[in-house]
Amino acid sequence: MSFPPSVSRNFWGRDFDSPIMLASGTSGFGEELLDLQCLAGVGAVVTKAVSFQPRAGNPPPRLLETPFGLLNSIGLANPGVHHVLKHILPVAAGLPCPLLINVAGESVEEFADVVRVLEKSSAHIGYEINVSCPNVADGGAAFGVDPEVVLQVSRGVSRVTNRPFSVKLTPNGGDMVLSAKAAVKGGASAVTVCNTFLGMHMDWKTGKSVIKRKVAGYTSPALLPLVVARVWQVANAVSVPVISSGGVSTGEDVLQLLAAGATMVQVGTRLMRRPFAAAELMDEMKKLAGE
């Protein structure tokens, strides 16, 4: 790799002018962005998680701002794979950039079951398999903490699709490098590093968590160094592209992640304050590069 890194990327055999992907859960299915004209600077969009059955999601509050970040407890709310296939993907197919579908499951088999249905669509170039979901059938710990389970999920998905897929790893337990290697062994064509960090907000007057599901996913610009370290560790351990996810708020953050070994860089929470973040980050990077 040459430094400073170029913002033009080759990922999954395609050329991208921008390394920026909109992170899962922060841009719906992308189709709502069509009217908002805020796709400038976006390399690709990752959809909200899709599960086999519709999911209502968690009770409110689902979002809680903290002084330095955001807690989210959405609970993978989505209308289910059949609705997504029939009603949402035909519209999302009109996006001017590639689409990846984020897939959730409660069992090893569910990931492959969802992908099998989605194979009927041509709206997307590939998948992001969210192994941060709780493995309900096996005690509720995230699939991603056990490399053997990650291997099974990855193998199951690669049996039902020829499209590329990334396995999105969890930072909450286990060894991310071992899980990344297992994902690749199972057929993954990328790994996403990583999902949200577990966080909590206690109501000290009642001794209860403000979030009904107790723990939530925490995102914050302060997590950037944790993500940079994990991207660097994983990128040095696997031969497939690494997609970074977490902590980005400036163009310099994106360049740091590319220098650490990320091929593509996701941006999520930043979009809630700055819907045009992708274009802004690209401008910042071009200025830094003197273009």
Ligand X SMILES: Cc1cc2nc3c(=O)[nH]c(=O)nc-3n(C[C@H](O)[C@H](O)[C@H](O)COP(=O)(O)O)c2cc1C
Q: Which residues are catalytic?
A: 133
Q: How far is the CB of 205 from ligand X (least distance, A)?
A: 27
The contact mask relative to ligand X for 170-209 (x = CB under 6 A, - = no) is: -------------------------xx-------------
7, 20, 21, 23: residue in contact with ligand X (rule CB under 6 A): 23
168, 174, 230, 253: residue in contact with ligand X (rule CB under 6 A): 168
Residue 75: Cβ-neighbour burial (10 angstroms; 0-12, 13-18, 19+): middle
Instruction: Determine the Cα–Cα distance for residues 68 and 22; give it in Å rounded to an integer.
Output: 21
Strand stretches in 164-247, DSSP E: 165-168, 190-193, 197-199, 202-203, 208-209, 216-219, 242-245
247, 257, 258, 277: residue in contact with ligand X (rule CB under 6 A): 247
Instruction: Determine the Cα–Cα distance for residues 106 and 130; give it in Å rounded to an integer.
Output: 11
27, 172, 219, 233: residue in contact with ligand X (rule CB under 6 A): 219
Reading the block at residue 234, the tokens are 């994983």
How many C-alpha atoms does 19 have within 13 Å on its Cβ side?
Answer: 29
Nearer to ligand X (CB atom), residue 176 or residue 267: 267
102, 135, 189, 256: residue in contact with ligand X (rule CB under 6 A): 102
How many CB atoms are located within 10 Å of the residue 168 CB? 30
Nearer to ligand X (CB atom), residue 152 or residue 195: 195
Nearer to ligand X (CB atom), residue 71 or residue 240: 71
Instruction: Determine the Cα–Cα distance for residues 243 and 267; give it in Å rounded to an integer.
Output: 11
| Residues lying near ligand X in the complex (CB under 6 A) | 23-26, 48-49, 70, 72, 74, 76, 102, 130, 168, 195-196, 217, 219, 245-248, 266-270
